[in-house]
Amino acid sequence: VTKLATPVVSVPAASGALGRLLVIGGGGHAWVVTEAARAQGWRVLGYFDDDESTSLGDKTPRLGPISGAAAATAPAAERGGPGDEDLPWAVIALGSLDLRARLIQVLPGLYAVVRHPSAIVSPSARIGAGTFIGATAVVQGRTQVGDHTIINTGAIVEHDCVIGINVHIAPGAKVGGGVRIGRDTLVGIGSSIRPGVKIGSGCTIGVGAAVVSDVPDNARAIGVPARATHSWSDSDDS
């Protein structure tokens, strides 16, 4: 692994008074995030999605296209107008890591940690702003999770891990102790990562894979035991 690129900007998992929340995205993942947020105690004001046909139910109005979210979420320092002291929090709730990465660049905001109340997060874990932790997920002691990451339903991230920005630990994945995962990496549904393994940035770990050795940046690792079979390149859209 040449580069882990895991600057972690952390806020305590329990920080931030629960208040008003804007959801960015209106698909399946946004539905899950919105329900978790309400269960946690957020007042969800509505959502942004370009597709007018999307719905997050009667209680959650569509507020406009994603481009409109910037005006609503920009922190006070970048707006300076009246009412800035009362800005809502926001969460990016789209599943695509590519799209999330683009939005992180262009949408400044006061990002919330949305955490389903059934999730177990160690008091010594540090969770980055904008991160979502789904129902029954577990994050163990001294683990650091970067900003805008998804620890999805039932995933387990064991102790002393360093998880980068915009990572997706998919439902039911199990990450052993001391694992490092670079930014923009997808750890597939039900996969298992051996303790101490280093996975680079921009990787895809396949559904059900068993990762027992390090995975370089931009690789795809599939199978049991997983093999890094492929490196992405700009011309490769497979």
Nearer to ligand JB3, 50 or 84 (CB): 50
CA distance 137 to 17: 22
Q: Which is nearer to ligand JB3, 135 or 212 (CB)?
A: 135
Asked, as a colleague might, if the bond just before 65 is cis with ω within 30 of 0, I would say no
Q: How far is the CB of 68 from ligand JB3 (least distance, A)?
A: 11
CB of 148 to ligand JB3, least distance (A): 13
Considering beta carbons, is residue 84 or 98 the nearer one to ligand JB3?
98
Q: Which helix (H) or strand (E) holds 70?
A: helix 69-73
Summarize as ranges the residues that interact with ligand JB3 (CB under 6 A).
25-30, 49-51, 54, 66, 94-96, 99, 152, 171
Per the residue annotation, which of 29, 159, 168, 230 is the catalytic one? Answer: 159
Residue 138, strand partner residues: 120, 156
Q: In what order do the strands lie in the sheet with 144-145?
A: 10-12, 126-128, 144-145, 162-163, 180-181, 198-199
Nearer to ligand JB3, 93 or 125 (CB): 93
Q: Is the dihedral of CA 107, 112, 117, 118 positive or negative?
A: positive
Q: How many residues does the chain have?
A: 238
Residue type, position 192, single letter = S
Please say if 168 is a catalytic residue: no
Please name every residue paired with 180 in a beta bridge, in sequence order, or none if there are none.
162, 198
Which positions are catalytic? 159
